[in-house]
Amino acid sequence: MSSQTPLLKARLTSDGPKCTFSNKEILIELNRGELLWLQGPSGAGKSLCSLHLLGIQKARDVAAEVVWDPAVPASERCGMLFQQGVLIDTLTVAENIALSLGGAGLAADPATIKKAVEMVGLHAADLHKMPNELSGGMLRRAALAQLLAQKKKLIVLDEPFIGLDKDTAAEIMRELLALKASGTSFLLISHQKPYVDELKPDKTAFVYPRIQSDNNKSVRVSRGLFSVRTGVKLVDYLGYSLPLIILAFIAAGFAISMLFADVLNRTNIKDQILDVMDEEIEKNKQDNPMLAAILPMLKAKVSAVIDERSPELKAMLYCTGLAKLFVLELGPLLTALLLAGRIGGSFAGEVGTMEATNQNRLLKNLGISTRLWSLAPTVIAALIAAPVLTMIGTGIALWSGSVIVEIYDLGDKEDYWDDVRAATWSPENSVWQTYPPYVLAYRSIVFMLIIIALAEICGRWNPLLQPRDVPTVITSAVVLSGLFIIFADWGFSQVLIQYATW
């Protein structure tokens, strides 16, 4: 074998502070049918070396020089059995193996699929199971079957025997030896020396861990504190949501302000009023000649007053209408709909992921309330963030309106802001239900409570939730939040209509 072209020659060099292993150089050379045992203690970086070698995950401060036999196509070079036993969790076992054989088209011979699972000790009945229905050992066997079905020239085995009983391990051992005898090469990572000895490694390479002194490092335990988790969420909600709020309200503010200003400029009530007066003159021409004589003078006076006061009235209507529209209605509504996706989706994904990965069961096992751990910090952070973001967004929209004032010649900015303040912060004859700052605050808070409640319900609805179901949880929470917010907004509008005194 030594005279033939090596299947793989690789040299990994490391010389940086962030590298996990201390070897300055790791040399790997494999011919067809050879097995190299990559040794080293846990955490030394063996798996990372393999992933870096295959181009799957780059190791920091590591350089790799890899030369493959040019006669081997890239698609047939190498595959890896991951330590955790990974399958696509939205596909059955059969579909996972078909994916490895036929690519995304899932076209594969059923007999070949059946042979692949039987090769690793699974049965035909297991082909229709989903990955979450498999035990840990069965999952690893199915992952190995998927890998063997591709007939790669080099297979990286990352702890292939963990989770397997002796009989299954022995069956896989025989299959690996048969594959090795037929010319398949292996790079083996394993701490189970009896199995390694049976595979009879042809070569050995060592990975030494980087030893770092921790004498000057303090133990960090702050992330478990309730106040810290709440603060992290608040920074997250404010920091990541703010750019979205700014851009959305700039767009909405300019669009609605321009539309409102254009409608006001095009609206001409003078002609309608004068037409009514003409009708009255015509009616009273015969019955009341004196009134008929006065009406033309009155008409001229009304026309002059309208011409004089119309710009001022339009400007006041524009400022007051825009202020109340955004503060009372669009500001809280638009912010809530945006946060339904940002905060609601984020929290639903967090709760769903914890449910799917048994983290909630772990918390219960530790005697810690799952809702106190995840829900309470989220509620506090969201109830602070929502009104703040709503006020910022509303302010941006009203600033957009001030720009449009000058473009459409509806007065000056100083008068605009005076009218906005009068319409929002100092409304006369207003009760608390309709006082604009209160409306903005309680709408924002209620909308956010709806978002968090629905995200919590969706995330915990299914106690047997699987990772593949988390996107559905997020989508359901966002869509339901949007619908409930719209219904709640309608209810709030009815309150405004009932209690409005302006």
- What pLDDT digit, counting tens, does each position of 234-270 carry? 999 999 999 999 999 999 999 999 998 888 878 766 6
Confidence of residue 413 (pLDDT cuts 50, 70, 90): confident
Query: Do the bridges between strand 203-206 and strand 62-68 make them parallel or antiparallel, or are there none, so unpaired?
Result: unpaired
Predicted pLDDT at 314: 80
Closest alpha carbon to 144 in 157, 127, 128: 157
Q: Is the pLDDT of residue 1 over 50?
A: no
Predicted pLDDT at 444: 95
- pTM tops 0.85, yes or no: no
Cα 279 from chain centroid (whole Å): 64
Q: Rg for the chain (alpha carbons), in Å? A: 36
DSSP-derived 3-state class of residue 10: strand
Q: What is the mean pLDDT of residues 408-415?
A: 83
Confidence of residue 43 (pLDDT cuts 50, 70, 90): confident
Predicted pLDDT at 161: 83
Mean pLDDT of the chain: 84
Predicted pLDDT at 309: 65
Residue 13: strand pairing partners:
25, 63
Residue 68: strand pairing partners:
8
Predicted pLDDT at 222: 63
Q: Are 494 and 456 in contact (CB under 8 A)?
A: no
Query: Higher model confidence: residue 321 or residue 106?
Result: 321
Predicted pLDDT at 339: 95
Confidence of residue 376 (pLDDT cuts 50, 70, 90): very high
Q: Are 108 and 101 in contact (CB under 8 A)?
A: yes
DSSP-derived 3-state class of residue 444: helix
How far apart CA 58 and CA 20 sit, in angstroms, is: 12
Closest alpha carbon to 326 in 240, 409, 239, 250: 250
How far apart CA 223 and CA 324 sit, in angstroms, is: 42
% of the chain surpassing 70 pLDDT? 87
Q: What is the mean pLDDT of residues 475-492?
A: 95
Predicted pLDDT at 2: 47
Sorted by where each starts, the structural domains of the chain and their CATH numbers stand as: 8-206 (3.40.50.300), 226-261+310-499 (no CATH)
441: which 2 tokens? 């605050």
Q: What is the mean pLDDT of residues 480-487?
A: 96
Predicted pLDDT at 142: 86
How far apart CA 11 and CA 218 sit, in angstroms, is: 37
DSSP structural state of residue 163: T
- Which H or E run includes 367? none
